[in-house]
Amino acid sequence: MNSLIGTYECKVDTKGRLMLPSSLKKQMLPTLEEGFVLKRSVFQPCLELYPMSQWNLLMDKMNGLNRFIKKNNDFIRKFSAGVRVIEVDTNGRLLIPKDLIGFAGIEKEIVVSSAINIVEIWNKDKYESVISDSEGFSELAEDVMGNDNDQ
């Protein structure tokens, strides 16, 4: 799967249904029939939507963890808490379960943002707060990407 591109302001209805933006839906066409996995983010108060192929790659990696090591077992339990298989209907909508809506503080106004090979779903105000907090981003960029001489 190619990288996904775009950040979109969207609305969620009272039942928790989200209409995928058409340009994002076009990018995801090859994976729409496979389904998706929706989960809590590890580091942020948002949700992560994994195309099933990306989820399976991650699960292959996690299946290599020794479950007889308590730390591994605890991580797997917390990582998979609230995980749901999600289907996109023929109208391009997906239903966000209520417990995940609560975790992410999702209200009517949301942001759907690509994150390379997954999609993040944010409460609009929380997303804008995280993105606008640019202090230290240049240092973070240098730390993460600056020593890329070996590739």
Q: What is the CATH number of the domain that holds 128?
A: 3.40.1550.20
Cα 151 from Cα 149, distance rounded (Å):
6
Q: Per residue in 108-135, pLDDT tens?
A: 999 999 999 999 999 999 999 998 876 7
In a domain, 150, yes or no: no
Q: How many CB atoms lie within 10 A of CB 143?
A: 10
In a domain, 107, yes or no: yes
- Average pLDDT on 56-72 reads 96
pTM of the predicted structure, to 2 decimals:
0.89
In a domain, 83, yes or no: yes
Cα 117 from Cα 84, distance rounded (Å):
18
Q: Per residue in 76-102, pLDDT tens?
A: 999 999 999 999 998 889 999 999 999
Cα 101 from Cα 121, distance rounded (Å):
10
Q: How many CB atoms lie within 10 A of CB 86?
A: 20
Task: State the burial class of residue 96 (Cβ atoms within 10 Å of its Cβ: 0-12, 13-18, 19+).
Answer: buried
In a domain, 149, yes or no: no
In a domain, 69, yes or no: yes
Number of domains in the chain: 1
Domain encompassing residue 39? 7-144
